Amino acid sequence: MGKIIIASDSSSDLSPELIARYDVKIMPYTVIMGEKSYKDGIDVTPDDLLSFVAKTGKLPKTAAVNTAEAEDFINSIRTNPDDEIIFFTLSSKMSGTYQYAALAAQNLGKVYTVDSQNLSTGVGHLVVKAAEMRDNGSGVEEILDVINRMIPNVRASFVLDDLEHMRKGGRCSSVAAFGANLLKIKPMIAVRDGEMGVAKKYRGQLCEVLKQYTLDLLENKDNIDLDRCFVTHTRMDPEWVADIIELVKATLPFKEVIETTAGATISVHAGPNCLGVLFVEKY
C-alpha cells in the first residue's frame, strides 16, 4: 500500500527541524557561483552566497530544475509504485520549475504539482499544512482542495535594508537604488498573484522600520489565521529578529511563531538585513 509524500523545491525555506518534523522531501536548486555549481542547502549556505557577492560584486545565479532532474528527484523519494506525491514549487511567474515538474509528473504518474504562486515560507505555509493534513489522515484530493483555497490567502512580504542586491540582479535601476539608499528608504516587497512588487516604502532606521512594518501587517487581526506565523530573514542582528518575534507574539496569539533563515532565492536578490513576517489570512 502506498503513502502520501509531501515534497517541495528548496525555495520553501523550511528549517532542517521543520523538514524532519513533517517528513518533507526537498529538491534543491542549483546555485552557480563563478565557475562552480552547488546545491542549495546541501553544499552552499546563504552566508556563502552573501560572502560571494561582497567579495566579487557579482550575484550568484539560481537554475530552475529541468524535467529530467525533477524525474530523478521524484524517483528517489518514491519507495513504492503506489506512493502519491504532492510536489510544491516556487511561483511559476518567478521560475520555470513548476512547468518542468508538471512535465515530470505527467511522465511518472501519481504526482500532483502545486504552483504555490509564492516564495520562501509563503510556500512553506502550504507545505506544512499539507503535511499536517496527511498526518491527520486526509487523502490527496482533500489536501489539494484545501491547499488550492489557501494559496490566494498566503501573505508573504519582506522589508529590504537597501536595493543594492536588487540592482546587481537587474531588478531595479542604479538611479532608483541610489535614490532609495540616499533617502534611507526601506521598501516592502510583497507577493501578489504570484509576482513580487513594491507594496510600501518606509523611511528611517531599519530596526524601527521592521517594528512598524510588523504592526502594519498584523493590524487586520480578525482576518488572520492564527495557526502559525513565520519570521524569515537573511543575515541580520539576532536581537532585532528576537524583537520582531516578541512583537508578533504580543500582537496576536499565534499557536506558533517560527523563525527561519531565507535560502538562495531570497538571500541572493534581497541581500543581508532582509526580514519578512509571513502568515495566512482566513480562507
Same domain, 138 and 105: yes
- 85 with 129, same domain? yes
- Whether the predicted model's global pTM rises above the 0.85 cut: yes
| pLDDT at 174 (0 to 100) | 37
What confidence tens digit (pLDDT) does each residue in 136-167 have? Answer: 999 999 999 999 999 999 999 999 987 665 65
- In the chain, what is the greatest distance between 2 CA atoms, to the nearest angstrom? 62
Whether 215 is in a domain gets the answer yes
Whether 222 is covered by a domain: the verdict is yes
74 and 107 both lie in a single domain = yes
Do 80 and 204 share a structural domain? Answer: no
Instruction: Using CB atoms within 10 Å of the CB of residue 219, give its burial: 0 to 12 exposed, 13 to 18 middle, 19+ buried.
Output: exposed
Residue where the block lists cell 536588487: 166
Q: Tell me how far CA of residue 36 lies from CA of 31, 32, 62, 124, 147, in angstroms.
A: 8, 6, 12, 28, 37
Instruction: Note the pLDDT of residue 179.
Output: 39
SS3 content of the chain, % helix, strand, coil (to 5): 45, 25, 30
CA distance 130 to 14: 14
Same domain, 135 and 24: yes
The predicted structure's pLDDT at residue 196: 85
- Domain of 75, CATH number, reads 3.40.50.10170
Residue 10 belongs to a domain: yes
Whole-number pLDDT of residue 120:
95
Residue listed under C-alpha cell 528517489: 76
Name every residue whose Cβ is closer than 8 Å to that of residue 200 and which is 6 or more positions away in sequence. Answer: 187, 188, 190, 213, 216
Residue 124 and residue 198 in one domain: no
Residue 109 lies in a domain: yes
Tell me if 44 is assigned to some domain: no
Residues in the chain: 283
Residue 40 DSSP one-character state = B
Q: Which of 134, 152, 170 is the last residue of a domain?
A: 152
CATH code at 227? Answer: 3.30.1180.10
Whether 261 is in a domain gets the answer yes
pLDDT for 57 equals 80
Phi, psi angle pair for 35, to nearest 5°: -100, 0
Amino acid at 27: M
Domain assignment present for residue 37? The answer is no
Average pLDDT of adjacent 10-residue blocks, the chain of 283 residues: 94 95 95 88 85 84 88 96 97 93 95 97 98 98 98 96 59 39 73 89 92 96 96 94 98 97 81 93 93
Give how many domains the chain has, as a whole number.
2
Per the structure, the complete domain to which residue 77 belongs is given by: 4-29+64-152
